[in-house]
Structures are given as structure tokens and as C-alpha cells.
Amino acid sequence: MQTFGSPTTYPKSAKIEKRCYACWWLLVSLGEHQQGQNPVTNIDFDIPVSAFVSLKIFDQLGREVTTIVSENLQAGSYRMQWDGSNFGSGTYFIKLESGSKMITKRMMLIK
């Protein structure tokens, strides 16, 4: 039997998560085109614990243009939609915030 090195060891201070039950994530994807209009953007996110959640859209100057969610949500997976038809072409930022966690994603709206 041939061995290819020793098993990996980690310092005692290292925390290794085998399961991601406490992960926060945010996924942005384009939705279906609706009869030639601008596509709807699907915003999928997971929250691992029940908490107050804020999901907002900002323009490239940092001005808030839309609040999609601002309420207490149960732990779980969510899909929200944002219709950009009332907004101009440009770069927008989606910000998911809850407690000390914050995730920001960039998206382009092209008309």
C-alpha cells in the first residue's frame, strides 16, 4: 500500500464547518422576458436563522431606489423579484442585511 503524504492537520484555533447550516447567500439571476419588456430580476437568498432582514436596491451613486424586504423572516430560502422597467440603464447594487451580516451584489440593467 502506497501513501501520498500525511493527513492534513489544522491548528486548534481553526474552525472547520462540515455543513453549511449557518451560511448566508445571495444569488441574482435574470428572469423570463415578458413580451419584449425588461426582464424581471430574481433575487434568491437564504437566511439560516429567523431575523429581521433588509433587502434593498441602490443605484451607482449609493442612493436607495427600492426596498424589496424590510421585515422579520423565518429561517429558510426566499425568492424575490425586482422589475427594473421603471429604472434607467446602469449599474445597481443589491444589499442583503440582517444583524451583523451584509452581502452586496452588483447587477447591470441594460435597456
Tell me the three-class secondary structure of the chain, residue by residue: CCCCCCCCCCCCCCCCCCCCCCCCEEEEEECCCCCCCCCEEEEEEEECCCEEEEEEEEECCCCEEEEEEEEEECCEEEEEEEEHHHCCCEEEEEEEEECCEEEEEEEEECC
Is residue 55 a contact partner of residue 67, using CB atoms and an 8 Å limit?
A: yes
Is residue 11 included in any domain, yes or no? no
What's the confidence (pLDDT) of residue 20? Answer: 44
What's the confidence (pLDDT) of residue 56? Answer: 94
Is residue 16 included in any domain, yes or no? no
Is residue 79 included in any domain, yes or no? yes
pTM of the model: 0.69
- Report residue 47's pLDDT band, with 50, 70 and 90 as the boundaries: confident
Residue 35 belongs to what domain range? 25-109
Q: How many domains does the chain have?
A: 1
- Report residue 79's pLDDT band, with 50, 70 and 90 as the boundaries: confident
| Beta strands 40-47; 25-30: pairing state | antiparallel
Is residue 14 included in any domain, yes or no? no
Is residue 64 included in any domain, yes or no? yes
